[in-house]
Amino acid sequence: MVEELCLIIRSTGEVGEDGHVSVTFGQLFETYVTISNKVVGILLRARKHGLVHFEGEMLWQGKDDDVIITLLE
């Protein structure tokens, strides 16, 4: 699941000046929710393993749609 999430970030996100791919939580949620409704849990697991970075402890649909999620790998 974590690997699949990283692939979706890579395919839907944009490459920044630092070379990392980033996507907003809202965009990721809309894309990934068709695969799994556990998007936030998978994001938290990916962050714990150093694969992604985002601000805040928890992400909420609607409230945090503009939070940037950056793929670190």
Domain ranges of the chain: 2-71
Q: Quick one: DSSP state of residue 2?
A: H
Say which residue the tokens 């990916």 belong to. 46
pLDDT digits (tens, 9 = 90+) for 29-65: 998 877 777 899 999 999 999 999 999 999 999 999 9
Of 1, 17, 16, which is closest to residue 69 (Cα–Cα)?
Answer: 16
pTM: 0.85
Architecture of domain 2-71: Orthogonal Bundle (1.10)
- Phi (first) and psi of residue 16, to 5 degrees: -90, 180
